[in-house]
């Protein structure tokens, strides 16, 4: 660590410590501004902030970002506590994470843990997936974020849909995000606007557009997923779709998925139930201007 970075991190820790010592009410918030934290320092400063918040009193914590950052390493949001954490932009301000300086194929943000929400952050020029959720995360949310010019996916959830848990509460929420120009790599059957490989996730109110490539607006793989109130325009070509469900060898397990109240326009196949998808409920959607078909069902049963 060079001297400049050490002094900045030390300064941040002193400020954070004094804030935490002041009162339990103030101990819940840490603010990181691009005017005082360089893009190069950001991943380490975020890690320091999370370590401080984990030991802080309070029922809920916030990590506030403000300004434009161009990190050269992935930002790791690892949060395995029962205290909810929200990583968000400062109110009435903008937090931009520009992935232009990252290596090709590297994600901008990686999330793993419990009770973590990413809200209101603007992602541009992602060199890999903009956001990856993994590590068997639970009670996570990505909401009100915007994504532009993603080399791969905007949101890529790769969790555990196989272990059946006797729980009806949603495991994750992906809601009210705006995604445009994804899969700039022009990959086939990869790099969807939103990919979810999980169970009990609500994918709702997202706007996804501008990717005329052979991939999908939303790819939902798992069980008890709800895809609703999304608006998808001008995505997919050939053998891909606006909203895509997949069963494959797990078709007997990946059941209970619901696709309702979505608007899909300008897709190759509007709603695509592939590879034996079973036990899906698809109703009250509007599908317009599909080049191949509105709804495509590839085998399966009980749909």
For residue 5, what pLDDT is reported?
59
For residue 9, what pLDDT is reported?
53
Q: Is the pLDDT of residue 163 over 60?
A: yes
Q: Is the pLDDT of residue 25 over 60?
A: no
Q: What is the mean pLDDT of the chain?
A: 92
For residue 168, what pLDDT is reported?
87
Q: Is the pLDDT of residue 214 over 80?
A: yes
Q: Is the pLDDT of residue 279 over 50?
A: yes
For residue 160, what pLDDT is reported?
83
Average pLDDT over residues 171-175: 97
> What are the φ and ψ backbone dihedral angles of 249, each rounded to 5 degrees?
-70, -10
For residue 284, what pLDDT is reported?
98
What pTM value is reported for the model? 0.91
For residue 166, what pLDDT is reported?
78
Q: Which among 295, 182, 196 is positioned nearest to 242, based on CA atoms?
A: 295
Q: Is the pLDDT of residue 219 over 90?
A: yes
Q: Does the CA dihedral 16-22-24-28 come out positive or negative?
A: negative
Q: Is the pLDDT of residue 135 over 50?
A: yes
Share of the chain above pLDDT 90, in %: 85
More confident residue, 118 or 7: 118
194 in Cβ contact with 167 (< 8 Å): no
For residue 236, what pLDDT is reported?
97
Neighbour tally for 93: CB within 10 Å:
12
For residue 31, what pLDDT is reported?
97
Q: At what angle do helices 3-22 and 42-54 cross, to 10 degrees?
A: 30
For residue 269, what pLDDT is reported?
98
Burial class (CB in 10 A: 0-12, 13-18, 19+), 144: middle
For residue 276, what pLDDT is reported?
95
* Cβ-proximal residues to 277 (8 Å cutoff; 6+ apart), any chain: 245, 246, 247, 251, 254, 257, 297, 298, 299, 300, 303
């Amino acid at each position: 660590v060079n001297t400049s970075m050490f002094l900045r991190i030390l300064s941040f820790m002193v400020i954070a410590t004094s804030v935490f010592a002041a009162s339990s009410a103030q101990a819940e918030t840490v603010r990181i501004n691009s005017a005082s934290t360089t893009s190069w320092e950001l991943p380490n400063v975020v890690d320091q902030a999370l370590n401080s918040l984990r030991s802080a009193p309070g029922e809920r914590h916030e990590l506030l970002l403000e300004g434009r950052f161009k990190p050269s390493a992935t930002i790791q949001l690892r949060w395995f506590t029962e205290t909810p954490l929200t990583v968000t932009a400062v109110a009435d301000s903008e937090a931009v994470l520009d992935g232009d300086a990252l290596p090709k194929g590297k994600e901008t943000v990686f999330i793993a843990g419990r009770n973590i929400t990413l809200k209101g952050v603007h992602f541009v020029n992602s060199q890999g997936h903009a956001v990856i959720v993994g590590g068997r995360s639970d009670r996570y949310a990505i909401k009100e974020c915007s994504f532009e010019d993603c080399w791969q996916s905007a949101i890529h959830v790769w969790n555990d849909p196989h272990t059946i848990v006797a729980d009806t509460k949603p495991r994750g929420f992906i809601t009210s995000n705006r995604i445009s120009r994804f899969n700039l790599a022009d990959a086939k059957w990869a790099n969807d606007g939103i990919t979810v490989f999980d169970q009990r996730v609500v994918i709702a109110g997202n706007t996804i557009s501008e990717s005329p490539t052979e991939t999908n607006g939303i790819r939902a793989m798992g069980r008890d997923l709800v895809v609703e109130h999304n608006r998808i325009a001008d995505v997919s070509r050939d053998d891909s779709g606006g909203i895509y469900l997949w069963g494959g060898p797990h078709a007997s397990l990946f059941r209970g998925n619901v696709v309702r109240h979505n608007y899909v326009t300008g897709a190759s196949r509007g709603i695509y139930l592939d590879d034996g998808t079973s036990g899906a409920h698809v109703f009250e959607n509007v599908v317009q201007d599909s080049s191949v078909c509105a709804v495509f069902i590839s085998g399966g049963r009980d749909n």
